[in-house]
Amino acid sequence: MSQFRLSRRPDIGDKIRVSFEFFPPKSDEMEKRLWDTVTRLEQLRPRFVSVTYGAGGSTRERTARTVKRILNETSLTPAAHMTCVDASRAEVDAVIREFAEMGVSRFVALRGDPAEGVGAAYQPHPEGYANGAELVGAMREIGDFDISVSAYPEKHPESPDFATDIDMLKRKVDNGATRAITQFFFDNDMYERYVERVRRAGLYIPIVPGILPVHNFAQVANFCSRCGAHVPAWLAERFEGLAQDPQTHALVASAVAAEQVLDLVERGVSDFHFYTMNRADLVFAICHMIGIRAHPVEENAAASAAA
Ligand code: FAD
């Protein structure tokens, strides 16, 4: 089925825009893997690449270092994730300004999870921003940034219902968010229903699907159970018995993600955000299948300088 879609739409790659998400490395080995990944994916000319942000001083420092290196050593446009966790408003504002001084013009604004982990009750810092919407408002006050926020096709686990969840998205848009990136999902019908709900609420910002190539099904299933995402039975079946067979696992993962992305393209989606897990192979292959081709990095530098 995928082959027919590609052959019917040979110019597909020209219309599709991608962004890639990385997390800041914790060791020299992880640092090397990240930079190998960044260098490989840079050739695909993503619209931007984002770097996640964790609670605690040392992880914030790592995010800043990674963003700075992307700015200084690549042709890529970085987006810095920021959260409200364990920080006063003044501290958060200072970090926003530091990023801006570094040359960052894009942010992904999030409330974040409690330091104890997903599932624990969130307690805002007594002098901090309470949620993503307040953080977006603070960013908008500080500068003319491109601000993305989160969206949850299955609703956030803390939201009692979709109406409450979409109301929070509306507050983020009202405060200046221009794009939402979704939590990863595997059921495209559910994504489509969510986008319909968002549109019915009068929100017209892009709801960019977050695509997670399944590098390790057991880990993904475990994470899904903690963050309230649904693992369809067909997905579990595809990976059944492959835990000890990484090569077949990778081939199946690339087919599953390509199928998902191509189906979304058929439904009219043109922007995709990939959760890379700091690995290039699957994302590179999937992008290739949707018609995105590698360009020499020197050309990319010239193209971004001209833009
Ligand atoms: P918000 O949008 O502020 O709220 C999420 C939901 O909780 C709302 O929809 C709302 O229904 C409910 N809620 C919140 N406050 C209230 C309230 N006062 N009353 C009623 N309901 C409320 N985490 C990180 O730590 N670092 C990252 O870099 C990071 N990047 C992410 C990137 C993306 C694209 C996504 C989707 C998630 C990311 N996360 C990250 C995870 C995110 O921090 C968690 O999902 C967190 O639990 C919620 O953050 P949020 O910004 O979505 O929250």
Tens-digit pLDDT profile for residues 61-72: 999 999 999 999
Distance CA 92, CA 57 (A): 12
* CA 131 / ligand 1 centre spacing (Å): 7
Tens-digit pLDDT profile for residues 163-202: 999 999 999 999 999 999 999 999 999 999 999 999 999 9
Q: Does residue 254 have its Cβ closer than 6 Å to ligand 1?
A: no
Give catalytic status of residue 192 as yes or no: no
* CA 92 / ligand 1 centre spacing (Å): 16
Q: How many domains does the chain have?
A: 1
Q: What pLDDT is attached to residue 173?
A: 98
2 domain-assigned = no
Does the structure show a pLDDT above 50 at 73? yes
Q: What pLDDT is attached to residue 60?
A: 87
Yes or no: say if 214 and 277 are a contact pair by the CB < 8 Å rule. Answer: no
φ, ψ (nearest 5 deg) of residue 190: -65, -40
1 domain-assigned = no
5 domain-assigned = no
Q: Does residue 137 have its Cβ closer than 6 Å to ligand 1?
A: no
Q: What pLDDT is attached to residue 294?
A: 94
Q: Does residue 54 have its Cβ closer than 6 Å to ligand 1?
A: yes
Q: Does residue 164 have its Cβ closer than 6 Å to ligand 1?
A: yes
53 domain-assigned = yes
Yes or no: say if 278 and 23 are a contact pair by the CB < 8 Å rule. Answer: yes
19 domain-assigned = yes
Q: Does residue 37 have its Cβ closer than 6 Å to ligand 1?
A: no
Q: Which of 21, 42, 134, 154 is catalytic?
A: 21
* CA 24 / ligand 1 centre spacing (Å): 19
Mean pLDDT of 89-101: 97
Q: Does residue 131 have its Cβ closer than 6 Å to ligand 1?
A: yes
φ, ψ (nearest 5 deg) of residue 37: -65, -45
30: how many CB neighbours lie within 10 A of its CB?
A: 13
Q: Does residue 81 have its Cβ closer than 6 Å to ligand 1?
A: yes
232 domain-assigned = yes
Confidence of residue 303 (pLDDT cuts 50, 70, 90): low
* CA 81 / ligand 1 centre spacing (Å): 12
Does the structure show a pLDDT above 80 at 9? no
Residue with CA at minimum distance from ligand 1 atom 30: 52
Minimum mean pLDDT range among 99-108, 119-128, 208-217, 252-261:
119-128
The residue segments making up the domain with residue 212 are 12-306
Tens-digit pLDDT profile for residues 240-295: 999 999 999 999 999 999 999 999 999 999 999 999 999 999 999 999 988 899 99
Q: Does residue 277 come out as left (phi exceeding 0), alpha (psi in the -120 to 50 range) or beta?
A: left
* CA 149 / ligand 1 centre spacing (Å): 9
Residue with CA at minimum distance from ligand 1 atom 24: 112
- Ligand 1 atom closest to the Cα of residue 150 is 36
Helical (H) or strand (E) element with 151 = strand 146-151
Q: Does residue 165 have its Cβ closer than 6 Å to ligand 1?
A: yes
Does the structure show a pLDDT above 60 at 82? yes
- Ligand 1 atom closest to the Cα of residue 164 is 11
Q: What pLDDT is attached to residue 39?
A: 97
- Ligand 1 atom closest to the Cα of residue 81 is 28
56 domain-assigned = yes
- Ligand 1 atom closest to the Cα of residue 151 is 36
What CATH number did the domain enclosing 279 receive? 3.20.20.220
Copy the structure tokens of residue 84: 């409200």
276 domain-assigned = yes
